[in-house]
Amino acid sequence: MLSRGRLAALVVVATACGIGQPKLTREAITPALQQEAEKLKADGESMPDLGVKATWNIMAVEVKEQPGNAAQPFAGTIRFKIESSTHALEGPATEAFEKKFEYVYDAASKQWRFRP
């Protein structure tokens, strides 16, 4: 039978080695990147009007593994299609373009970080 001291030492070693900690998965961290996409959409659409109305459509939220990179085990991309419209003398003018934002998942802080 293990003494309390030995049991406590085993718990400390197991915790330090990561035993018992859940494995980080793409499915577990994708919702946080989706929330980031929703925040970008809201921020983009709430910018001052200045005669231009912008609609940000989320086209994709992608998460890829980065094997061998323990500090940043996942990379993510958020893709938008942005439609802007203005009222010109000739009538409404509409333009559409795509924009993407790159992120990496920081394992230490457990957060997505923008990658310029």
Range of the domain at 33: 24-114
Q: DSSP for the chain?
A: ---HHHHHHHHHHHHHTTTTSPPP-HHHHHHHHHHHHHHHHHHHHTS--TTEEEEEEEEEEEEEE-TT-SSS-EEEEEEEEEEEEEEETTEEEEEEEEEEEEEEEETTTTEEEE--
Q: Identify the bridge partners of residue 62 per DSSP, sorted by sequence position.
A: 77
pLDDT tens, residue by residue, 35-84: 999 999 999 999 877 788 899 999 999 999 999 999 999 999 999 999 99
**By percentage, how much of the chain surpasses pLDDT 90?**
66
- Does a structural domain hold residue 82? yes
- Does a structural domain hold residue 8? no
pTM listed for this prediction: 0.77
- Does a structural domain hold residue 59? yes
Q: What is the pLDDT of residue 113?
A: 98
Give me the number of domains the chain comprises. Answer: 1
- Does a structural domain hold residue 15? no
